[in-house]
């Protein structure tokens, strides 16, 4: 069963009021999944729910800071009160590289902030969801989907964004371990890794012979995609102004998404 096959079920989307998270929410709601969006900004949460109006699935939002365990617990309790259950948790909260500062000049605060936002957010959301899912499994209802968005940086690194790459690599390791630990409860764990496409944003580097010769072989895709290649993927978040698409680079097999 695909991790996106949640028709009639309930999914939590962290960081779901923008970017990849909102695209996931829209795709799942359109397919008939009920969606609970967890985000810190009440106005963005409201706008995200409004963007799902008319979808087959119902949508609601909870104010939640995924770096705070108490906030995550409260959001989970509110979601369970609203929907009765949670079948999927799509953890997308996080921040990017945060500038081009060399590693040796990074401050302790910058390091901790990156880890707290990227890694702690996934840990707290997944733990809350997994507790609920394993409790259900113990009562004869084994089903659950845990999905984290990853980054190409977690595989081939990135100069001057080392702390970002480290957090994403840690998330991949967490997902791999959870796929083994939770399989007995009918819960799958996957990482979705973005892949490069040809776009306005990447036009400059596509013409760089050194980039194509030296960097492209390190990116685990068979070729750069064309925008029209991705019209039928499960999560459609790509435009000609964007350089990423999700859920297509790797086959989603119901378990860990192998690199």
Residue 73 sits in a domain whose CATH number is 3.40.50.720
Total domains in the chain come to 1
Q: CA distances (Å), 187 to each of 14, 88, 138, 145, 217, in order?
A: 18, 9, 12, 6, 34
Q: Determine how many CB atoms are found less than 10 A away from the CB of residue 54.
A: 7
Does the annotation mark 164 as catalytic? Answer: yes
In a domain? residue 194: yes
Tell me the residue range of the domain where 179 lies.
10-251
> What is the percent of the chain with per-residue pLDDT over 70, rounded to a whole number?
71
In a domain? residue 206: yes
**Average pLDDT over the chain, rounded to an integer:** 77
For 229-239, write each residue's pLDDT tens digit.
Answer: 433 333 333 34
Catalytic position from the list 164, 236, 244, 256: 164
For 140-186, write each residue's pLDDT tens digit.
Answer: 999 998 888 777 677 667 777 888 888 888 888 888 888 888 888 98
pLDDT reported for residue 81 = 96
pLDDT reported for residue 19 = 67
In a domain? residue 3: no
What pTM did the predictor assign?
0.78
């Amino acid at each position: 069963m695909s991790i996106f096959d949640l028709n009639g079920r309930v999914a939590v989307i962290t960081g779901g009021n923008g970017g990849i998270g909102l695209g996931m929410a829209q795709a799942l709601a359109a397919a008939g999944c009920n969606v609970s969006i967890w985000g810190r900004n009440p106005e963005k949460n409201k706008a995200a729910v409004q963007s799902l109006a008319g979808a087959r699935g119902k949508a609601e939002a909870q104010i939640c800071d995924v770096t705070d365990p108490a906030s995550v617990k409260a959001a989970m309790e509110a979601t369970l009160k609203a929907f009765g259950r949670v079948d999927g948790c799509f953890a997308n909260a996080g921040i990017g590289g945060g500038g081009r500062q060399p590693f040796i000049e990074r401050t302790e605060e910058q390091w901790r902030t990156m880890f707290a936002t990227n890694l702690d957010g996934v840990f707290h959301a997944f733990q809350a969801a997994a507790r609920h899912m394993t409790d259900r499994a113990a009562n004869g209802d084994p089903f659950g989907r845990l999905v984290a968005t990853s980054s190409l940086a977690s595989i081939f690194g990135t100069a001057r964004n080392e702390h970002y790459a480290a957090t994403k690599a840690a998330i991949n390791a967490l997902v791999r371990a959870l796929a083994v630990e939770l399989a007995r409860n009918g819960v799958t764990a996957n990482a979705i890794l973005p892949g490069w496409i040809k776009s306005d944003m990447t036009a400059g580097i596509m013409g760089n012979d050194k980039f194509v010769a030296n960097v492209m072989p390190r990116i685990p895709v068979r070729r750069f995609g064309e925008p029209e290649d991705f019209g039928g993927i499960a999560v459609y978040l790509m435009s000609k102004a964007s350089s990423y698409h999700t859920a297509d680079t790797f086959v989603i097999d119901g378990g860990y998404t192998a690199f």
